[in-house]
Structure 1
Amino acid sequence: MAKHVRFEEIYTSRPRTQWLLTVSLLAAVSLFVVGLCIGVFGIRSEDTFNCGESHTSFLPFTATESPSVSPSTFLPEDVVRDKLFAEFKAENIRKHLLVLTRESHPAGSPANNRVAEYIRSHLSLHLGADNVNESTYDVLLSRPNNSNPNVVKIVSAGGEDHTVLRNKENQQTYEVDTAIFGFSAQAAVESERLFYVNTGSDHDYELLEKQGLLDEINGSVVLLRYGGFRGAQVDKAAEHGAKAVLLYLDPSAVAKYGIDESKVFPNGAWMPDTAMERGVLSIYKGDPLSQSFVSEIESKTKYRTALRNVHFPKIPAVPIGYGDAQKLFNLMDNSTALPSHLWRPSEFMRYSLGGKLLEGRKITVKTTNHNERSVIKNIIGQVHGCQEPDRYVILGNHYDAWTMGGIDPNSGTATLLEIVRVMGVLRTRDSWCPRRTIVFASWDAEEYGLVGSTEWAEEHMQILEERAVAYINIDAAVRGRLSFFALGVPLLSNVIYSAAKLVPDPAGSPDKKLSVHDVWASTTKGAPQVYPLGSGSDYATFVNMLGIPSGRYHREALSDIRGRIGHRTEINPYVCLQRI
C-alpha cells in the first residue's frame, strides 16, 4: 500500500525556492516534447533547406521569411539540448509570474487586456513583431455586478436579515470581482426549506426518494458540495424542482487535515473556509451563440442563435465557502438521518439533511450577474520550420483567469514565455531553425468554456486538420513539487516518456542525478503512465474537434493532496504557488 503523505511533511521537507526549479523543468520537458514532435531539434547537415516561402497561411497575418540556415551552422541534437538547458533561467519565470498575477484578470476585463499586451510584447521581442499577431472574436461572456453583488441571507421569523455569503475571500489586498458562476440564471428566490443533497448525483436523489423526501426538493434551495461538473449539478437540481443551488468546496477535498488557521492558507496550501471556486455552468465549448461557426467581430447576427435558444441553467446558483456552508448546516434540521455515510465526507464539518429551516427562518438567494457580448483576443506567435514549414507543432495555454491565476493558468503562461525567449535566443544567436513550424498560442476566455481556442480552431479548421502535427497544453503547469503527471493520446506517450528521461529533476542531488522520468516512476505503483485526456482545458479543442494528437502535463503533489489548492479562487496569487 502506498505511503500516505501529508502536506505538512512535503511542505517542510523541501525549500520553498525549489518551486522555481520545478517550473523550469516543466519548461524543459515542454521544449523537448515539442522538439521530438518536430522530428529533430535542428536541421541535419545532409538535408536541403527551403526557408524561403512561408506556408503558415492559417495564421491571421503575413509572416516573414524564415531565417537563413546553412549546413555550416548545423547543431547536433545533444548540442542544442545543452544550449537549451544553459539558457533556461528560473528567475525569468518568477518575474513573469509576478507580473501576470499582479491583478485579477477575467476574460473581457481591462486587466486581461493588459495581460494580453504583456504577452504580445514579449513574443514580439523574441520572435519578431511580424511573427506575432492577435485573433479577435465577439463572444458572449457572463459578468458579475460588483456594485450589487449576489446575496445569500437568512431571514428570521421576525423579519431580521442575516447575510451568509461572503462575496470575497478577503485573504489578500487584491481587487477581485465578486464570486459568481458564469451563465447562472439572474433571479431572486426565497424558500423556507433548505436541503443538503451531497453532490447532487442521480444516486443521491435516488437515496432521497427511498426516504420519501424527493418531492420535498421541489421549491427548496439545495446545498451541494462539489462533485463532477458544476453545470450538471445545477441542471439536475433544477430537474427536481429546486429553486436555487449553493455549491461549496468541502474540506474533504480542500482542507483534508484540518480547518484551523495553522493548516490553511496563508500558513499552508490548503484552502481556508472562505475559499469559493468560480466557474461556468455552460455546457458549451466556444461562444454559446455561434456553435460550430466563428464569432466574427464584423457580423452582429451572422451565424448566431438567439440567446433565448441557448441552454443555460434555469435557476440561480452561487459559490460559497465551507465556512458559510457550515453556518447553513447549523440552521438546518438534523432530525432525519443522512441517507449514506458518504454524505459525511469530512470529520471537520457538521452535516444536516435539512428540510424546513429551524425557528421559522427562510433563505433568500439573489444572483445579479449578467450576460454581455465582449471582444476577446488570442495572441499567436511562430518560429518557422526550415524543412517542413507547413507542418505545425502548437504549444499553448490560456491567459485569462477568474482571479489572479497564480496556478491556473499563469504557472503555465510564465513557463510558455520563457520557452519563447529561449527559442528566440537560439534562433538569433545560433541561427537555429526547427524542422517544423512551432506555433505559440495564448488563448483568451478559456475559463468560459475554451472559447478562444475553439473560435480559432473553427476559423482555421481545414488547414489545422491537414497540417497540425501535435498540440501541447501547459495549463496550470505547477500544482505541487513531488512528481511529473501527464495526460495525452497514446500516440504521444513515447514522446512524453522520452522527453522526461532527458530532463534532470530537482529532486536529485549532486551525487545521485535523477531524471524527471526517474522521479515520476518512483511515485507510481508501476511504470509511469500517460493518462487519457479529459475535456477540462484547451487541448480538448484540438483532440476532440480536430483529431490532432494532444497532450498536457504538470508538476503535482501525490494523490492525497491533489485537488483544488487555490484553483479558481481568490486564494490563487503568486504567494500561493510558493506554498506548494
Structure 2
Amino acid sequence: MAATMDHARSTISKIFCGEPRSYMRFNLAQNIEGDSSQVEMKLSNDDEEAPNSEGAPRHQDTYSRRPSRPAKNVIFYVIGVLLIFVIGYLIGYLTNRRQDLKTVDCSSDSDSDSDPENQPVTPRATAIEAEPTLDWSDIRNILRGKLSAEALRGRLREFSLSSHEAGSKEDELLANTVFSAFKTYNMNPWTDEHFVKLQSLSSGSPNKVRFGAEEIGRPAGYLAYSASGTKEGRVVYAHYGQPEDFKYVADMKIDLAGSVVLLRAGKISFAEKVANAAKLKAVAVLIYPDPVNYSNIQNEALYGHVHLGSGDPFTPGFPSFNHTQFPPAQSSGLPGILAQTITVEMAAKIFQKMGGANAPSFWDEGRLPVVYKLGSENDTVSVEVNNVLAEKMIHNVFGVIKGFVDADRYVVIGAQRDSWGPGYAKSTVGTTMLVELARAISDMVEHDGFKPRRSIVFASWSAGEYGSVGATEWLEGYLASLNMKAFTYINLDGAVTGSQTFKAAASPLLYRLIQTTLREVISPKASEKTLFEEVSGSNWELSVMEPMRMDDSAYPFTAFSGIPSVSFRFTKSAGEYEFLGTAQDNEERLSSATEGRTAQFAASAAQFAGQMALRLVHDHLLRLDVERYGIKVRSYVAQINRRIDQLRQSNVVSAGKLEALTVNWLASAVGSFRRASSAIISDMQNSDLNDVETCRIINDRLMGVEHNFLSPYVSAKDVPFRHVVFGSGSHTLAALVEHLNALKMDAPESDTDLFRNQFALATWTIQGCANTLAGNVWALDNEI
C-alpha cells in the first residue's frame, strides 16, 4: 500500500513540478475527448547506451515529451493519476483483507505434534491449504474401499502366534512388527517402556485344591494378583458371587467368615467376585466354568486377574517408569485372599462331596451331572496358591497421524497385544484392525487428499490380560498432558467374538455418534443393510448399548482419566464367547463362532471404529452429545429423590436429621448442567465455522465434560476410578443410592451425617462440570 501511494505522489510531482529526479519507461494513454497525447520517459541502461559522435558512450539519460500541452490536458492527467491512486488503494485494501481472512479460518488452525504426550506445540499455526478437500461421503467411501476382508485376512496370519504373554519374547516380537508397520506408514512411531509387577505360576510349586485329605487337582490356570499361601475352611456354593447371591446365602444363616467360596465364572468379573467374597471375610475363592455358560469347554484352564482396578497394583496412581522412586504402596483393589480357577471336572468332584441344603430353584440350573448344594459345616476344602510375583519390562507402541488444524487434539485408537495362549479373539483381531486402520488412514492422507483437522494416535498396549496394565500406566504417566488433549478413546479389544448381534458400551457423550455410525456401516451379514437396520430393532439403544464393565479395557480411560471411551463387538445373541482367557481362543474356535467369516466381521468392525474416529477428526465441532449425559445424571437424581421420600416415611432416621436431608441442591446442580447443555448446543448451531477461536472454545467446553465428572475430592492414588457416574467408591452417585438403601434398612454401616457429606461433594462435582460447560465466568449459573 505504501508503495502505491509513493508512486502516486511521484507522478503528481512530475506533472506539476517539472522534470523528475529519475526516470523510468512507461506509457500513459489517455483517450478522453479523443486526445492521443502520450508521455514517454526513458531510463538508460548499459544495454541501451549508444555512442556519441566521438565514439564515446553517452551517459546522459534522455527522454522526450511533447513541448506544449493545453491546460485541459493537465486536468485529464490529474484525473488519471487520481484514478490510479484509487485503484491502487482498493487493490492494496483487498489484498490485506484477504490475508486477514486467512488467519481466522477455523479449518486452517494447524498444529504439529509427533509425540502428543511429550511434545506439545503451539495451537495457532494456520495455513489456507489445510482446508479439507473431501466431504464426509468421500471420506467414508474411501475408507470402505481400503479396509477389505482380504487385507485383514493376510494381516491376521502375520499376527497370529501360539502364545504372546506380556513381557515375553513373542510379545516383544509383535511390538517390533507393529512399530515397523507404523514406521512404513510415516507415522513417527515411538515406544513407552514400563517396569511392572506381574504374577505367574510357580515352576516348582504348583497350586493345589483338596477336599478333606483328598487332592482334587492341580490347576494349570491361575488368577493373577491372588494372595499366596494355604487356607482351609468350609466350602460354600454362592452361584455367580454377585451381592444378591451372597445375600441369599446370608439369609440361609450360613456364615461366610473363614469359608472357601465356590463360584461360577460369568456375569461379573473375577475381581468383583473375589472382592465380594472378601467383604464377607471368606479366606479363599474357587471359580469354575459351568457348562451352562461354557458348553464347549471341558477341562480347559481359565486365566485372569483379581485386581479390582487397573494398572500395576504396586504403583497405584503413578506410572511404573524405570528409576521411579516407588513408595511402599499397593492398590486398595488387591483382595488379600486366595483366588484360584479350577476345571469343570474339579468342580464336579467338590459338588459330589458337598452336603447341606440344595441351591435355590431361582438360581439357574447348571449342567454338571450332580446336585448343586450350598455346603455343610463339615465340608472342608483347602486351597494352596504359590503364584510368583516378578518385575517385567513391557512396551507400548504408538504412531500418530497429525491433524492439519488442531494437531494437539487427538482421538486414541488402541488394542491389547498380549495374551495367555493364542488370544486370537482377545488380541490378534484387535491388533490386526489397529494396524490396518493405521495403513488405510495414512494412505488416505498421503494419496487421497484427506486432511484431518485433529490427530489420531494409534496405540498397541501390553499386559492387557493383567488388567489394562500397559494402557493404565500410560494414562498415569501422562495424566496432566492428556487432559484437554485426548478427547476420545476407541477400544478394539475383543471386537469380533461372534456373528449374531452387535453390542457397545460407551460414555453417554458418544451415544449419538455410535447411532450415526451404525447407520453408515454396511452389515457383514447383508450387503444391502446397514448395521443399524441389522441389529437395532425397535429401540436401538436398548438393543445395542450395555453398561461398561470394570474389566473392559476402555473403562480406565473414562473412570480414571475422564476421556470418553467406547468398546464394541460382534458377538453371540445370548451369552459370551466362552474361550476368552483360555488356550482354546484360537483361529479355529473364532472361525466357528463367526461361521467362517472372521475377516469379514473384522473389516466391518474396523469400518465402525474408523468412521467414528474420522468423524471426530473431520468435523469443525466435536460430535459429543452433552444432552445424553444430562439424561443419565437425572435418572440418578430421580432414584435418590425416591429413596429419600421412602426414608422419610420409614421413620428410621430421626426427624431432625431428615429435616436437612433434601435433594434440592443436587437437583439444582443438574438443572445447571441441563441449561449449560442447551446453551452450548445453541452456540454450536449458531456458530461461524470459519471463526477459529469460536470453534476452539466450543470444542474445549465439550472436551471438559467427561474430565469434570472426576471427583476432585478423592485421591487418584487411593480411589483411582474417581468418576461420579461410572467410577467406583463412596463418591459416586450409585454409592449414594446404596447408602440410602442402607439407611432405610438401618444397616450398621449407614451414617446420615456421612451421607450428607458425600451428597454435598457429589453435588459440587456436578455443579463444577456444569460451570465448565457453561464457559466464561460471566455465563455461570449461580442459582444454587
TM-score (norm 1): 0.75
Bigger strand fraction: 1
Q: Which among 545, 548, 558 is matched to residue 543 of structure 1?
A: 558
1:286-305 to 2 correspondences below 5 Å: 286-299=311-324, 302-305=325-328
In the alignment, is the contact (CA less than 8 A) between 2:174 and 2:417 conserved in 1?
Answer: yes
Amino acid at match of 1:199: Y
Secondary structure of the 1:277 match is: coil
**Structure-2 change in CA distance of 1:428 and 1:146 (3 Å):** farther
SS, match of residue 335 in structure 2? coil
Is residue 2:404 matched to residue 1:386? yes
Residue in structure 2 matching 1:534, options 525, 532, 549: 549
Superposed, 1:458-477 pairs within 5 Å as 458-477=476-495
- Tell whether 2:362 aligns with 1:342: yes
Shift of 1:450: 2.1
Equivalent position amino acid for 1:575 in 2: E
Matched, 1:225 2:225: no
Q: Deviations over 1:317-363 (max 9, x none)?
A: 21012232112212223xx32252234522444222333668xxx64
Does structure 1 conserve the Cα–Cα contact (< 8 Å) formed by 2:130 and 2:451? Answer: no
User: Which of 213, 238, 242 pairs up with 1:197?
Assistant: 238
Distance 2:455 2:131 in 1: 21
* Percent of residue pairs identical: 27
**Distance of aligned partners of 1:532 and 1:127 in 2 relative to their CA distance in 1, 3 Å threshold:** farther
CA offset digits 1:446-499 (Å, max 9, x no partner)? 222222222212222223212222221121001211222222222222212222
Q: Which residue pairs with 1:565 in the alignment?
A: 578
Question: Which structure carries more helix by proportion?
Answer: 2
Cα 1:73–1:60 change in 2 (3 A) is: closer
| Residues 283 and 166 (structure 1), Cα distance of their counterparts in 2 relative to 1, 3 Å cut | closer
User: What does the per-residue CA deviation read over 1:248-303, in whole Å, with 9 as the maximum and x for residues that have no partner?
Assistant: 12222222xxxxxxxx3xxxxxxx2223432111123222222222222122xx24
Task: Select which of 134, 138, 152 maps to 1:93.
Answer: 152
The residue type equivalent to 2:397 in the other structure is I
Gaps of 5+ in 1: 1-45, 168-178, 256-263, 265-271
How far is 1:380 from its partner?
1.0
Matched, 1:488 2:506: yes
Q: Aligned-pair distance for 1:379?
A: 0.8
Tell me what 2:217 maps to: 164
1:286 to 1:87, Cα distance in 2 relative to 1, 3 A: same
CA contact (8 A) 1:486 1:554 kept: yes
1:127/1:500 CA distance change after superposition, 3 Å: farther
Alignment check: 8 A CA contact 2:194 2:321 kept: yes
Query: Could you tell me which residue of structure 2 aligns to residue 575 of structure 1?
Result: 588
Q: Tell me, yes or no, if the aligned pair for 2:414 and 2:491 is still in contact at 8 Å.
A: yes
Residue number in structure 2 paired with 1:501: 519
In 2, distance between residues paired with 1:286 and 1:477?
A: 22
Question: How many residue pairs are counted as aligned between the two chains?
Answer: 484
Counterpart-to-counterpart distance in 2, 1:58 and 1:526 = 34
Shift of 1:201: 4.1
Which piece of structure 1 moves more, 473-482 or 399-408?
399-408
RMSD: 3.1
Q: Does 1:181 align with 2:223?
A: yes
In 1, the alpha carbon distance for the partners of 2:191 and 2:560 equals 22
Larger radius of gyration: 2
Q: What does residue 318 of structure 1 align with?
A: 340
Structure 1 position 306, deviation (Å): 4.0
Pair 1:371 & 2:389 matched: yes
Q: What does residue 497 of structure 2 align with? A: 479
1:157-193 Cα distance to aligned partner (Å, 9 max, x none): xxxx5442452xxxxxxxxxxx1101111113455x4
Cα distance in 2 for partners of 1:556, 1:572 equals: 14
1:184–1:467: structure 2 CA closer, same or farther, 3 Å change rule? Answer: same
Q: 5+ residue gaps in structure 2?
A: 1-104, 594-784
Give me the whole-angstrom Cα distance separating, in 2, the residues matched to 1:550 and 1:241: 35
Cα deviation, 1:491-527, whole Å, max 9, x if unaligned, reads 2222122222222112225xxx101111022486887
Which of 235, 240, 245 aligns to 2:285? It is 245
Supply the AA of the counterpart residue of 2:328: T
2:139 maps to which residue? Answer: 80
> Aligned partners of 1:523, 1:549: CA distance in 2, in Å?
26
CA distance in 2, matches of 1:332, 1:575: 37
Q: 1:62 to 1:97 in 2, by over 3 A?
A: farther
Give the structure-2-normalised TM-score: 0.57
Cα distance in 1 for partners of 2:542, 2:492 equals 23
Alpha-carbon deviations, 1:126-154, whole Å to 9, x = none?
234xx101111122211222443322245
- Aligned letter for 2:298? D
Partners of 1:337 and 1:353 within 8 A in 2: yes
Question: Is the contact made by 1:183 and 1:370 (CA closer than 8 Å) also made in structure 2?
Answer: no
Given candidates 104, 108, 123, the residue that maps to 2:182 is: 123
